[in-house]
Structure 1
Amino acid sequence: MNIKEAATKFDLTADTLRYYERIGVMPPVTRNQSGYRDYQVRDLNWIYLVKKLRDAGLTIESLIEFATLAQMDRTQDVQAAQKTILNDQLEVIDQKIQELNDTRKLLSFKIDTYDEHLALFADGKTMPDPLWKENL
């Protein structure tokens, strides 16, 4: 598969794929006899992984480290380092999910009590309990 096809398949640009390869976010791509990139299943799997890890918020620096480790001899230390990178990002995502859940609860509370809030506000009053108390 050529670079244009690979880029289209993953909704990226050819420039992005070249950049990822150049900076070491993914291992060097297989080349054909003419020297053009010829994306194999292994290369496509890397693009998919990189795209998903970027979507998950992994930094370019962490991706470079992850890819560099992947190209080293497979030792327990290398595998542990890769797993640490993934676990660290999972913790970040879990924290973001918790923050989103808290925000969702607040929005639900505001929607559920919206009419009551407006009625109190119209009478020059406020809710008796602060929002951050046991309402959430």
Structure 2
Amino acid sequence: MADGGLSIGQVAQRTGLSVHTLRLYEREGLLASEVRRDGSGRRVYSAWDVEWLANCVKFRASGMPLTTISRLAQLVRAGSGNEAERLELLRAHQRHITEQVAQLRDCLDLINVKVASYERHLTAGASGDPWHQQRPPAPQEHRIDGA
């Protein structure tokens, strides 16, 4: 754009968000500043808008709900004086992500054990299924009548 701003299409390319999603984000109050309009009414995004949207992409990728992003944007739009609330929103999400990372580490540990097991199995030229070889024996039925 001639005035140094970016069109909605350019912002879509830079952020990976669709034009539809950008309009939705604006409508739902997820942007931290009001998007300017040119003389023809077309949106003109600033570099700061693009930076904010890049943060939003990461927030969403990490599972942050749109309502939380909206609240954070509202606080940023309101200006200084609410930094403690912003910090608490981010800390709450940080705790959530930390829990997710711990769960993913547990999953990765299991996958690593299984990969190592199959690698050993294939390297040794062993027969049979290593997954079944690790299975505990089936419990035997116990009869109460002594038979």
Normalising by the residue count of structure 1, what TM-score does the alignment of the two structures yield? Answer: 0.80
- After superposition, the C-alpha distances for 1:30-83 in whole angstroms (9 at most, x for unaligned) are 1112221111112112211111111111100001100001111311xx101111
Indicate conservation of the 8 Å contact 1:120/1:127, yes or no: no
Q: Which residue in 2 is equivalent to 1:60?
A: 66
Letter in 2 for 1:112: A
Q: Secondary structure at the match of 1:71?
A: helix
2:87 aligned partner: 83
How far apart in 2 are the matches of 1:9 and 1:112?
40
Q: List 4+ stretches of structure 1 deviating above 6 A.
A: none
Structure 2 unaligned spans of 5+: 1-5, 138-147
Could you tell me which of 105, 108, 129 is aligned with 1:104?
108
Residue number among 114, 117, 133 corresponding to 1:113 in the alignment: 117
**Equivalent residue number for residue 5 of structure 1:** 10
How far apart, in 1, do the equivalents of 2:22 and 2:135 lie?
Answer: 55
- CA deviation after TM superposition for structure 1 residue 94, in Å: 1.1
Q: Relative to structure 2, which stretch is displaced further, 37-46 or 110-119?
A: 110-119
Specify the SS of the correspondent of 1:58. coil
The letter of the residue matching 1:70 is V
2:29 paired with 1:28: no
Structure 1 portions without partners, runs of 5+: 129-136
- Is 1:74 the counterpart of 2:84? The answer is no
Out of 35, 57, 61, the residue aligned to residue 51 of structure 1 is: 57
Tell me by how many angstroms 1:17 deviates: 0.6
Equivalent residue letter for 2:62:
A
* Distance of 2:42 and 2:100 partners within structure 1: 41
